[in-house]
Amino acid sequence: MMLIALAAAIVFTLGLLHIVYTFRGPKLLPRDRELRAQMEHSPLVLTRETTVWKAWIGFNASHSLGAMLFGVVYGHLALVQPTVLASSPFLLALGAVVLLAYGWLARRYWFSVPFRGVVLALLLYAGGVIATLA
């Protein structure tokens, strides 16, 4: 279960860094300042109640919270409730599916650092599942 806990810690850390970067510092800002201004003043086709910029911030924050939730839940299960996790094929499969989805998203849409982090988490998770089932 320690490998699954380590995988969860990696995903939690990635989510935590992402939420910090969402609300602090320039790391998730567009390099083109004019683009940010356009995003701040452009409503979505879906609704005029928000702008592309507000949606950008909200999507980044909710994405971060999802990663942090994965880390907390699977970390808790691995460390505090290992028998619950080990005896649930559903939870074991769900964790793998979430990590595979994050891996696909990271490869397709993100950049190398989160991709490598997710791949490492996926490998640790897979090793933990194999050790648990063995």
pLDDT tens, residue by residue, 109-119: 999 999 999 99
Percentage of the chain with pLDDT > 70?
100
For residue 48, what pLDDT is reported? 93
Question: Residues, the chain, total?
Answer: 134
What residues contact residue 95 under an 8 Å CB cut-off, 6+ apart? 4, 70, 74, 125, 129
Q: Are 86 and 131 in contact (CB under 8 A)?
A: no
For residue 121, what pLDDT is reported? 98
For residue 68, what pLDDT is reported? 98
For residue 83, what pLDDT is reported? 97
For residue 46, what pLDDT is reported? 94
Question: Region 63-92: what's the mean pLDDT?
Answer: 98
List phi, psi (to 5°) of 111.
-140, 180
**Residues forming a β-bridge with 43:** 51
Q: Are 91 and 85 in contact (CB under 8 A)?
A: yes
Structure tokens at 27: 């790391």
Say which DSSP state 12 is in. Answer: H
90-108: per-residue pLDDT in tens?
Answer: 999 999 999 999 999 999 9
Question: Region 24-33: what's the mean pLDDT?
Answer: 94
Q: Range of 91's domain?
A: 2-133
Number of domains making up the chain? 1
Question: Region 31-44: what's the mean pLDDT?
Answer: 96
Structure tokens at 4: 């699954």
- How confident is the prediction for the chain on average, in pLDDT? 97
For residue 47, what pLDDT is reported? 94
